[in-house]
Amino acid sequence: MSAYQHLQQATADNRAWLLASPIIQRALDGRISRDEYLAFLGQAYHHVKYTVPLMMTCGARLPERLEWLRGALVEYIEEEYGHQRWILDDIRAAGGDQDSVATSRPAPATELMVRYVRDIITHDNPVGFFGMVFVLEGTSTALATNAAVSIRESLGLPQEAFHYLESHGDLDIGHLAFFEGLIDRLDDDVDLQAVIDTANMVYRLYGAMFRGLDTTDATSTQELAHALV
């Protein structure tokens, strides 16, 4: 079994829990409201704006033996820079208030996700950051483009309101193949375990974020609490 296959296997349960979020299933069927879509974009803004800063922090803390991984981060940074502006543009095109979103505070699960990963990078093993990459890019590849088409058709919103979802879904297919090659180059079990542990926690927090968006699920509050257990 390759390192990447081990990562997939070791995170399968938490990945399934995230993908089972009721709002994700409704989004794929085109059954979410404009307010829910705007709420999703708002939370996406609050974590995407930290992607490049977290990458830069990770790159600065990687040991010299992982210089090749630092080089990969340079490529990631160039491709990810400024994506939060796509989200603000989408919010405006969908009829939302991008200025209000930009000055708002993130939901607890979103804030915890960013703070957790920052803590892993700063105080534990910076390689753990790639667990977050695995979750966000893997989820985007699996869902983003399909969800964007369903939501756009059901809500009648312009294509300009889906730049983030549609572009990210396509872009992350290439990213995930590149990422698989990086993980398979890790030759230290401690580093791989850091990626696995971070991915499992981020799956729980990201899933909690989605459950917190669901305005139709009466159990969403209970599930949010369960996510952090």
Per-residue pLDDT of 132-170, as tens digits, reads 999 998 887 767 777 888 888 899 999 999 988 887 655
**Long-range Cβ contacts of 121-126 (<8 Å, 24+ apart):** 121/54, 121/57, 121/58, 121/61, 122/57, 122/61, 124/194, 125/190, 125/191, 125/194, 126/57, 126/58, 126/61, 126/62
145 or 217: which leads in pLDDT:
145
Q: What is the pTM of this model?
A: 0.90
Q: What is the pLDDT of residue 98?
A: 96
Q: Which domains does the chain have, with CATH numbers?
A: 33-227 (1.20.910.10)
Mean pLDDT of the region 180-185: 95
The percent helix, strand, coil of the chain (3-state, each to 5) is 85, 0, 15
151: tokens are 């939501």
